[in-house]
Amino acid sequence: MLRSTISSLVPRATSVARHMSNAAKLTTVEINDVTGIATLTMNRPPVNGLNLELLTDLNNSIQEIEDNKSRGLILTSSNPTIFSAGLDILEMYKPDKERLKAFWTTLQDVWLALYGSAVPTAAAINGHSPAGGCLLATSCEYRVMLPKFTIGLNETKLGIVAPKWFMSSFLSVLPRRVAERALNQGRMFTTDEALRNGLIDEVANSKEEALAKCAEFIGSFSKVNPLARSLTKQQLRAAELSELENERAQDLEKFIFFVNQPAVQKGLGIYLENLKKKSKN
């Protein structure tokens, strides 16, 4: 922490971004040598569906960014129209028992790491962001979104239930009555609606502008002691984090039980079929 305090006082050499992670992975991390901010990009075509491998790479990348004492983390996508389609439904439909366990455990890890991250976090939402995509975005401290996309927790539309910790992230951003109604309806907000309701903080007209606005937000902490800032954030988020930490095993059990219910499997099958039909038209 002292290192980042000192480095915040020392002007950095001018240079372009430097890659830390290798492109064969489903995420890349680029550190801007001038600002010290890390951009974490999801890159799993076609829709950044969060499967076990993408979640594993996300988790490792967040860890890498924390370990390297980056000045902040910006989460974005390499896809020009999709931030993330949320959880890869194929992980939950007719699942393999062991893989399903690893999948959910890694999702828990990612949420704990991102929501509880010591560094300032922001999401440059450069495309649609349903369900798990919205979870990632609302785990960050700041959101900038491009026009004409959608974001929200649409789980009820799939016949599934957003776990409590998904709701915690949502509730950390939206007023309770807006969150409650949206969760019950499985509402997807357009960019304009998201801005009006406070689900996002700003709108940008291009990905570059979104990244710049995220960097500006992170830069707003440049004169704040990083240790004081991160301890303040951690205290504010401690209750939700401990709730999952203390109930991880039960949360996993509940998920496995719920996903394996015949009615849930049937609903997921129909939802997938409709998605495939839509993509063929």
Ligand X SMILES: CC/C=C\C/C=C\C/C=C\CC/C=C/CC(=O)SCCNC(=O)CCNC(=O)[C@H](O)C(C)(C)COP(=O)(O)OP(=O)(O)OC[C@H]1O[C@@H](n2cnc3c(N)ncnc32)[C@H](O)[C@@H]1OP(=O)(O)O
- Where does this chain touch ligand X (CB under 6 A) — which range of 24-32, 57-65, 175-183, 254-262? 254-262
Among candidate residues 207, 204, 193, the one with its CA nearest the CA of residue 151: 193
Interactions with ligand X, residue window 150-209 (CB under 6 A): 154-155, 158, 160-161, 163
Catalytic hit among 50, 87, 100, 174: 87
> Using the 8-state DSSP alphabet, how is residue 158 labeled?
G
Q: Which residues contact 136 (CB under 8 A, 6 or more apart)?
A: 58, 75, 83, 84, 110, 114, 123, 129
- CB atoms under 10 Å from CB of 56, counted, come to 18
Binding residue count for ligand X, defined by CB under 6 A: 29
- Amino acid, single-letter form, for residue 86: G
- Amino acid, single-letter form, for residue 279: S
Residue 9 beta carbon to ligand X: minimum distance, rounded to whole angstroms: 42
Sole binder of ligand X in the list 40, 87, 125, 146 (CB under 6 A):
87
- Where does this chain touch ligand X (CB under 6 A) — which range of 4-12, 17-25, 125-133, 218-226? 125-133
- Distance, CA of 25 to CA of 147 (rounded, Å): 29
* Whether residue 48 lies in the annotated active site: no
Any contact of residue 254 with ligand X (CB under 6 A)? yes
Residue 248 beta carbon to ligand X: minimum distance, rounded to whole angstroms: 13
- Where does this chain touch ligand X (CB under 6 A) — which range of 22-30, 41-49, 192-200, 231-239? 41-49
- Identify the sign of the CA torsion 189, 192, 198, 199: positive
When the beta carbons of 100 and 214 are compared against ligand X, the nearer one is 100
When the beta carbons of 47 and 122 are compared against ligand X, the nearer one is 47
* Whether residue 154 lies in the annotated active site: yes
Closest residue to ligand X, based on beta-carbon distance: 86
**Beta bridge pairs of residue 50:** 87
**Beta bridge pairs of residue 122:** 74, 142
- Distance, CA of 235 to CA of 256 (rounded, Å): 31
Helices and strands, number each (H, E), in the chain:
11, 10
Residue 155 beta carbon to ligand X: minimum distance, rounded to whole angstroms: 5
Tokens standing for residue 257:
């039980």
Would you tell me which residues interact with ligand X (CB under 6 A)? 46-47, 49, 81-82, 85-90, 128, 130-132, 154-155, 158, 160-161, 163, 254-255, 258-259, 275-276, 278-279
Residues assigned a catalytic role: 87, 132, 154-155
